[in-house]
Amino acid sequence: MTVSLPRVHVLGVGAIGTLMASYLRQRFPALPLTLVLRNQAAADRWNAAHQTLALGQHTSVQGPLPVTTATPPQVHWRLATGIDAETLTDSSSATSPIACLVVTTKAYQTRAALAPLRARLDSHSVVVLLQNGLGVREELEKALFDRPATRPQFILATTTHGCYATASYRAVHAGFGGLWFAVVPSSNAPSLRAQAVADLLLALPLQPHAEPWPQFQIRLLTKLAVNACINPITALHRCRNGALISHPKHRITIDHLCQETSTIITRYLLEHQMANATSDLAFSPQELCQHVVEVCQTTAKNKSSMYQDVLHQRPTEIDYINGWLVRQAQRYRIPYPTHQALVAAIHAQEAEYRMDKDA
């Protein structure tokens, strides 16, 4: 299959970035592909890896989300070569336009990472944001692309594929799920390039699904509601997902979170004219709590991404998960004490280990 794209750039080469770049190379061997690396140290590691991505897959993987951090007994490795790389420093001085940029950085890293690329992105560019949480696109539009006429076309994406990194440019595709995406409506004329990028994503062997924007927003809000319960509680109490449904205190916290989240999202849907009988049911407190319990049961042995971030003393994505809900609640003047407490507690943890590192 051929795609009418001169080149695809991938920004953020962690586990998901390695997954996406590897499958892009596998599916489109002739497609020019460039990794945008953070700094020279990352470029040195790329050269040490012989400019090769390695993606492993559990030979026994059948369904979604059986993600663990243990090395499986049998992993089949596939190598991806013929991939170019440039650093953000190189990119800031380059003049060639970027046709398609796939972004898989952490949400809090995105604005700073895209800033050096700003001059190479315009209304003919397509930016795919494959990340957790909500609010990144709006942040980018306000800080970097404030003129709608010259703003790139955005595609938002989310995935349930489980993937973890074992080393730089080396990851294991541990759980097979799906990839969902939608083109964000724009005041600019419909972009043929956006359609080309959508076709490219639909051709990947990742169970891709293109959805209308309203339907996709419901998907993102549902995922956010679940993550807003699981991530901060597991991070603060250093527990796996399954512990949330076996500990009465955690169940009470989840109930409070679902009450607040239901009120906030219901107002958000009304504001954006997306409310209907189906969404009213899906975002009722009872339905949200049931959904959280089901996810905890399915992923009982997993460590949430925020738990892993805190465990390794990394910044978290709390500002784009519970923090996003807090910002909406503030706009609507809706009480949000439980979300506020969790955001403050995670920020306190982050500040504590930042101080330890500086000491």
Q: What's the mean pLDDT in 211-236?
A: 97
Sequence-ordered list of residues with C-beta below 8 angstroms from that of 356, at least 6 positions apart, any chain: 313
Give the burial class of 187: count Cβ atoms within 10 A of its Cβ; 0-12 exposed, 13-18 middle, 19 or more buried.
exposed
Sequence-ordered list of residues with C-beta below 8 angstroms from that of 309, at least 6 positions apart, any chain: 235, 315, 316, 317
- Name the band, by pLDDT with cuts 50, 70 and 90, for residue 3: low
Which is more confident, 298 or 280?
Answer: 298
Q: Does domain 8-211 have CATH number 3.40.50.720?
A: yes
pLDDT at 136: 98
Percent of the chain with pLDDT over 90: 84
Sequence-ordered list of residues with C-beta below 8 angstroms from that of 252, at least 6 positions apart, any chain: none
pLDDT at 187: 81
> If you average pLDDT over every residue of the chain, what do you get?
92
- Name the band, by pLDDT with cuts 50, 70 and 90, for residue 69: very low
Residues involved in catalysis:
223
- Name the band, by pLDDT with cuts 50, 70 and 90, for residue 66: very low
Phi, psi of 354 (to 5 degrees): -65, -40
Q: What's the mean pLDDT in 280-296?
A: 95
Q: What's the mean pLDDT in 127-136?
A: 98
- Name the band, by pLDDT with cuts 50, 70 and 90, for residue 5: confident
- Name the band, by pLDDT with cuts 50, 70 and 90, for residue 357: confident
Q: Which residue has the tokens 């895209």?
A: 114
pLDDT at 138 over 60: yes
Sequence-ordered list of residues with C-beta below 8 angstroms from that of 233, at least 6 positions apart, any chain: 239, 244, 250, 253, 254, 342
Q: Diameter of the chain by CA atoms?
A: 57
Percent of the chain with pLDDT over 70: 94
Distances in whole angstroms, Cα of residue 180 to Cα of each of 128, 144, 213, 265, 285: 12, 26, 11, 21, 25
pLDDT at 92 over 90: no
pLDDT at 68 over 60: no
- Name the band, by pLDDT with cuts 50, 70 and 90, for residue 94: confident
Name the residue ranges covered by the structural domains of the chain: 8-211, 215-358
Whether pTM > 0.85 for this model: the answer is yes
**Orientation angle between helical segments 322-332 and 248-271, nearest 10 degrees:** 50
Same fold, 8-211 and 215-358: no
8-60 pLDDT, tens digit per residue, is: 999 999 999 999 999 999 999 999 999 999 999 999 999 999 999 999 997 65
Asked if 283 and 314 count as a contact pair (C-beta separation under 8 A), the reply is no
pLDDT at 65 over 50: no
pLDDT at 62 over 60: no
Q: Domain 215-358 class?
A: mainly alpha
Give the separation between CA 95 and CA 319, rounded to whole angstroms: 33
pLDDT at 60: 54
Give the separation between CA 179 and CA 162, rounded to whole angstroms: 11
Minimum mean pLDDT range among 52-61, 63-72, 211-220, 298-307: 63-72
What is the three-class DSSP state of 87?
strand
Could you tell me which of 129, 158, 157 has the C-alpha nearest to residue 145?
129
Minimum mean pLDDT range among 85-89, 158-162, 353-357: 353-357
